[in-house]
Structure 1
Amino acid sequence: MGVMRLRIDLAYDGGGFFGWAKQPTIRTVQGEIERVLHTITRVPVDDPAEPLRLTVAGRTDTGVHASHQVCHLDIGEETLSRCVGHMSVPPTVALKHRLQRMLPADITIHDVTVAPSGFDARFSALERTYVYRVADRASEVDPRLRGFVLHLDADLDVAAMNEAAAMTIGLHDFGSFATPNPGGTTIREVKTAYWRRIPTRPLVVDGMGERYRTPAAESDLLCFTIVADAFARNMVRSLVGGCIQVGMGKRSTDWFREKMAVPLRESSTGPIAPQGLTLEHVAYPADDELAERAERIRAKRTL
Structure 2
Amino acid sequence: MTDGRVRVRLDVAYDGTDFHGWAVQQDRRTVAGVLLVGLRQLLGDEGAAGLTVAGRTDAGVHATGQVAHVDVIAPAWQTRRGDLLRRLAGVLPPDVRVTAATEVGFDFDARFSALSRRYEYRVSDAPYGVDPLRRHDTLRWRWPLELARLNQAAAGLVGEHDFAAYCRRNPNRTTVRAITELAWRRDPDGVLVATVAADAFCQSMVRSLVGGMLLAGDGTRPVEWPAQLLTRRERAGEVRVVGPHGLTLVAVGYPDPEAWAARALATRRVRTLTIEPA
Alpha-carbon distance in 2 for matches of 1:259, 1:276? 23
> Does structure 2 conserve the Cα–Cα contact (< 8 Å) formed by 1:93 and 1:112?
no
Q: Which amino acid aligns with 1:34?
A: L
Deviation, 1:159, is 1.9
Which of 26, 33, 49 is 1:52 aligned to? 49
Alpha-carbon distance in 2 for matches of 1:270, 1:154? 15
Alpha-carbon distance in 2 for matches of 1:181, 1:193? 24
Q: Which amino acid aligns with 2:196?
A: I
Deviates more, 1:277-286 or 1:249-258: 249-258
Counterparts of 1:98-177 in structure 2, within 5 Å, are: 98-137=87-126, 141-177=130-166
Deviation, 1:94, is 2.9
Which of 232, 250, 267 is 2:202 aligned to? 232
Secondary structure of 1:226 counterpart: strand
Q: Which amino acid aligns with 2:8?
A: L
Deviation, 1:249, is 2.4
Q: Which amino acid aligns with 2:204?
A: N
Alpha-carbon distance in 2 for matches of 1:104, 1:256? 40
Query: Quick check: 1:188 aligned with 2:190?
Result: no
Alpha-carbon distance in 2 for matches of 1:116, 1:142? 44
Relative to structure 1, the CA distance from residue 166 to residue 263 in structure 2 (aligned partners, 3 Å threshold; closer, same or farther) is farther
Q: Which residue number corresponds to residue 251 of structure 1?
A: 221
> Does structure 2 conserve the Cα–Cα contact (< 8 Å) formed by 1:38 and 1:52?
no
> Does structure 2 conserve the Cα–Cα contact (< 8 Å) formed by 1:139 and 1:221?
no
Counterparts of 1:1-303 in structure 2, within 5 Å, are: 2-43=4-45, 52-81=49-78, 84=79, 91-137=80-126, 141-179=130-168, 183-198=172-187, 200=188, 219-301=189-271
Deviation, 1:41, is 2.2
Q: What RMSD in Å do the two structures reach over aligned CA positions?
A: 2.0
What is the percentage of aligned positions where both structures have the same residue?
41
Q: Which residue number corresponds to residue 88 of structure 1?
A: none
Q: Deviations over 1:38-91 (max 9, x none)?
A: 2222316xxxxx66231001111110000111000012213434xx3xxxxxx3
Larger radius of gyration: 1
Deviation, 1:138, is 6.6
Q: Which amino acid aligns with 1:278?
A: T
Alpha-carbon distance in 1 for matches of 2:128, 2:81? 43
> Does structure 2 conserve the Cα–Cα contact (< 8 Å) formed by 1:34 and 1:53?
no
Secondary structure of 1:8 counterpart: strand
Q: Which residue number corresponds to residue 275 of structure 2?
A: none
- How many residues align? The count is 269
Q: Which amino acid aligns with 1:144?
A: L
- Structure 1 runs (4+) deviating above 4 angstroms are 138-141
Deviation, 1:182, is 7.0
> Does structure 1 conserve the Cα–Cα contact (< 8 Å) formed by 2:48 and 2:70?
no
Q: Which amino acid aligns with 2:50?
A: R
Q: Which residue number corresponds to residue 208 of structure 1?
A: none
Q: Which residue number corresponds to residue 207 of structure 1?
A: none
Relative to structure 1, the CA distance from residue 53 to residue 283 in structure 2 (aligned partners, 3 Å threshold; closer, same or farther) is same
Secondary structure of 2:26 counterpart: coil
Secondary structure of 2:265 counterpart: helix
Identify unmatched segments of 5+ residues in structure 2. Answer: 272-278
Secondary structure of 1:130 counterpart: strand
Deviation, 1:141, is 4.2
Alpha-carbon distance in 1 for matches of 2:75, 2:171? 36
Alpha-carbon distance in 2 for matches of 1:139, 1:292? 50
Relative to structure 1, the CA distance from residue 95 to residue 180 in structure 2 (aligned partners, 3 Å threshold; closer, same or farther) is farther
> Does structure 2 conserve the Cα–Cα contact (< 8 Å) formed by 1:139 and 1:220?
no
Deviates more, 1:150-159 or 1:58-67: 150-159
